[in-house]
């Protein structure tokens, strides 16, 4: 009897914790944003319809749009570090929604940029942006037979379960929260995503830390469908573009703040990366000959490197091109 009471108590605490974790997310509304364009793909610039907002997860099917709002202008709060050009540059891209690598969309209302925010006032057409998410590039694999039955995909946040699972308590270790929904959160034991196997030199430690997290500053939005009762099949990942939020060496929690000793003559400093992609001093090593070749990144990614290992040779990474550079001095 005591054991049953303990289980009920744990589950109750678990539910309260989850509700608290997701409260700040669920209070926000998330939208696809794209420029309002004519049939030729040219941006329509007038005082009332510069951009289109489509509320995520409200679409009925692939032809009928959900809640749609025309806005005239987008702004960011004063002192915000958000990069507004990620949105304004959409007007210069006539390939939005095409089959360009990494930007293939099955529906006309989807976009490579997602925002949250609020209108300046009740009757305003100006939208104040609080968060910007950008689609991570991915090789276009949309080669399925059009007659094949297509599954319905939704957009989710994923977070770790606070409940400790063991042999006595069989539980799922991942929670999914449907974007813009009041539906109860769901549970997963695993997920499957295409990026780690197909995108070369992706920093997987960073990537995985953004997929499943309780940190609202770094949570990603994923598109996918549930397979069975415990697995999410992910097709797209949208990354929060303010990453890292405080830059490298400025956050009190960043390991990159460690004072880096100067290396003696003939030796160079080597580095690793933390979960924010920031350089972390490792040790001083004797400089050795290195291979001069430089790898190429997939479209939508930029090359980054750090002196690494016993020889101090460059270790290369391919980071999403819309994210800030974290190791400018190398």
Tell me the per-residue pLDDT of 160-192, one tens digit each, with 9 for 90 and over.
987 766 555 667 789 999 999 988 889 998 999
Flag whether pLDDT at 12 surpasses 50.
Answer: no
Residue 15 pLDDT grade (very low, low, confident, very high; cuts 50, 70, 90):
very low
Q: Residue 27: which domain range? A: 2-139+148-240
Q: Alpha-carbon distance 36 to 169, whole Å? A: 52
More confident residue, 105 or 174: 174
The answer to whether 132 and 113 are in contact (CB under 8 A) is yes
Q: How many residues are listed for the chain in this entry?
A: 330
Same domain, yes or no: 33 and 96: yes
Asked if residue 42 is part of any domain, the answer here is: yes
Q: Are residues 182 and 307 in the same domain?
A: no
CA distance 132 to 81: 11
Residues 262 and 235 in one domain: no
pLDDT tens profile 184-222: 889 998 999 999 999 999 999 999 999 999 998 899 999
Instruction: Say yes or no: 185 and 229 in one domain.
Output: yes
Q: Work out the angle at residue 322's Cα, subtended by the Cα atoms of residues 318 and 325, and round it to the nearest 5 degrees.
A: 60
For residues 278 and 133, membership in a common domain is answered with no
Q: Identify whether residues 14 and 62 lie together within a single domain.
A: yes
pTM of the model: 0.83
Domain ends where: 240, 273, 291? 240
Structure-derived torsion over alpha carbons of residues 322, 101, 151, 154, reported in degrees to the nearest 10: 10
Strands 190-192 and 231-240: parallel
Domain count, the chain: 2
Q: Which of 226, 216, 215 is nearest to 192 (CA)?
A: 226
């Amino acid at each position: 009897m005591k054991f049953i009471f303990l289980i009920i108590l744990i589950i109750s605490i678990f539910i309260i914790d989850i509700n608290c974790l997701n409260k700040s997310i669920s209070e926000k509304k998330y939208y696809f944003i794209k420029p309002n364009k004519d049939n030729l793909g040219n941006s329509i610039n007038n005082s009332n319809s510069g951009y289109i907002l489509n509320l995520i997860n409200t679409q009925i099917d692939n032809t009928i749009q959900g809640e749609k709002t025309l806005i005239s202008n987008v702004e960011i709060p004063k002192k915000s570090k958000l990069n507004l050009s990620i949105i304004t540059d959409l007007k210069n891209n006539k390939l939005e929604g095409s089959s360009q690598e990494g930007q293939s969309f099955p529906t006309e209302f989807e976009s490579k940029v997602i925002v949250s925010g609020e209108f300046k006032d009740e009757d305003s057409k100006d939208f104040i942006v609080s968060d910007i998410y950008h689609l991570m590039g991915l090789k276009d694999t949309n080669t399925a037979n059009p007659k094949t039955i297509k599954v319905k995909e939704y957009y989710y946040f994923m977070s770790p379960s606070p409940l400790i699972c063991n042999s006595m308590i069989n539980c799922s270790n991942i929670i999914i929260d449907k974007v813009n929904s009041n539906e109860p959160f769901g549970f997963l034991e695993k997920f499957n995503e295409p990026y780690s196997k197909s995108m070369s030199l992706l920093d997987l430690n960073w990537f995985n830390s953004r997929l499943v997290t309780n940190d609202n500053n770094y949570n990603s939005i994923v598109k996918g469908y549930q397979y069975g009762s415990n697995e999410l099949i992910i097709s797209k990942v949208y990354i929060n573009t303010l990453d890292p939020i405080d830059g490298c060496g400025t956050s009190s929690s960043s390991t990159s703040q460690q004072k880096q000793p100067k290396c003696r003559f003939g030796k160079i400093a080597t580095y690793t990366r933390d979960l924010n992609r920031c350089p972390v001093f490792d040790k001083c090593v004797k400089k050795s000959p290195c291979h001069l070749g430089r790898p190429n990144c997939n479209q939508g990614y930029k090359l980054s490197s750090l002196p690494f290992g016993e020889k101090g040779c460059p270790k290369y990474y391919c980071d999403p091109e819309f994210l800030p550079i974290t190791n400018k001095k190398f």
